[in-house]
Structure 1
Amino acid sequence: MAAKLSPSEQLAYSTVRIECELQNGQSGTGTGFFFRFAESGGVHVPAIVTNKHVVAGAKKGRFIMTLSDRDGNPIQQSHHAFIFDNFEHMWIPHPEGSVDLCAMPIAPLLEAANKESKKLFYVSLDKSLTPSVAELEDMVLMEEITMVGYPNGIWDQVNNMPIFRRGITATHPNLDYNGKPEFLIDAACFPGSSGSPVFLYNQVGYATKSGGMTIGPGRIKLLGVLYAGPQHTVSGEVRVITIPTQNVPIAVSTIPNNLGMVIKASKLEAFETFFEGILENERNANKAIQPTQ
């Protein structure tokens, strides 16, 4: 991560606001985050990760990235917009149909910006931030979490910055909720939050499962990706729906109950395997890889 920024500032630059124009003419927003896949031998595949349902049916897409100065620092209020046609088909779906994740390699975008003498600033997450089995086992049931994204599409447009939300884990992140590779968080999850990375973020010290307390440096771990939330209808029926990308009238009124469903970060491993193949094929051509910074 960038050395001159605080941990929370680095997290802010790890996300991107995704705008979609759908086939039916409606528009929606979601959240994506930068991830460095298949890092090996000084190269990697840079990509953006979001939910499949965020880009489903999108004929056009748009997102904005912050520019960087010569010293590698972000230039506030200086941005570059990327606009795409046939947006849905630019994303690689997770190989498991039931896992609501997809990824888009962005090396061509970085190269295009570089040809225009523009350097982009962003902070990529990587697999070192995903918790190990031992780390998950040592977590307590109620951990503090931070979610970064664009609820209801809200953002600091002038500075191209996301919104931070705080909450707690509502089920243990080491357990598969209802047998699926996911867990629940207690946090406000609104349209536009789909694809938001969910972090275990302790700024100073944290409790361990054994009842001890770790004092000193905090910890940041990528626990997973928000994709859905249980809601109840006005008649009291509980339904689980994907967090929508837009605010539209629906026939049955649903009321969020401030719970979110999070896909475990371990499911990103499938993309590691996929992009390792891309890296091998493109290593000599140097088209899909970027030097590790």
Structure 2
Amino acid sequence: MDIINSIVLGVIQGLTEFLPVSSSGHLELGKAILGDESEPKKSLLFTVVLHFATALSTIVVFRKDIVDIIKGILKFEWNEDLQFAAKIALSMIPAVIIGLFFEAQLEQLFGGNILLVGCMLIITAALLFLADKAKDTNKKVSFKNALVIGISQAIAMLPGISRSGATISTSVLLGNDKTKAARFSFLMVVPLIFGKIAKDVLSGDITYDSANFTSLSIGFIAAFVSGLFACTWMIALVKKSKLSYFAIYCLVVGVIAIVFALLNK
């Protein structure tokens, strides 16, 4: 993968990670358009590195929240911060199970399967349309909600299902406040990404191959910088946004992807 492609894909990841339009789906579409023919394993590796970059941008944007949560945990009291951390841990369980037991099957889906991406984008659009009709409330995410949202996050590991779209939509449909739903959605993925990176490093799946290091590094930087912008923008937007706008976008891109895949069979 050349430097220009790495920058383009990094920017795509950074911008789409926080918008409910499926960053993984857009990465697969971007790779197909740019003619990237990486093996599924290498393709997934690049995707994981870019997700790692946006996880770091999430930490930077939510640094105050994260520090407060850590301080609350260190008090060793069943306070609001410790409860929030427990909800995050609970939400991780479904995705951890999928990652541990179905990783090989998941990897095979990341290799230019544009038809699948298109179909999943249409499902994302349907979720966003439904969530847009839900009434806004001041309700916080409960433990039961956290587990259900975690299941939606696990399903969103499929390319084309927006992780933020699925988790925010699920949370809103459960009756939670949209701003609180977005905060929970953005923070719940951070431990998973760090866990994934640690697992790959320990297993030897990620190596410092000089042939790939430059493109991975440049993609990482592009995703991190654009992720900072997108995360900050999305926090302000989600308070007054209309999810139907993103739903229409996902629907249009999904249909285009399906047509593209069928014409190139």
Same fold, judged at TM 0.5 (above): no
TM-score (norm 2): 0.27
TM-score (norm 1): 0.25
Greater share of strand residues, 1 or 2? 1
Greater CA radius of gyration, 1 or 2? 1
Greater share of helix residues, 1 or 2? 2
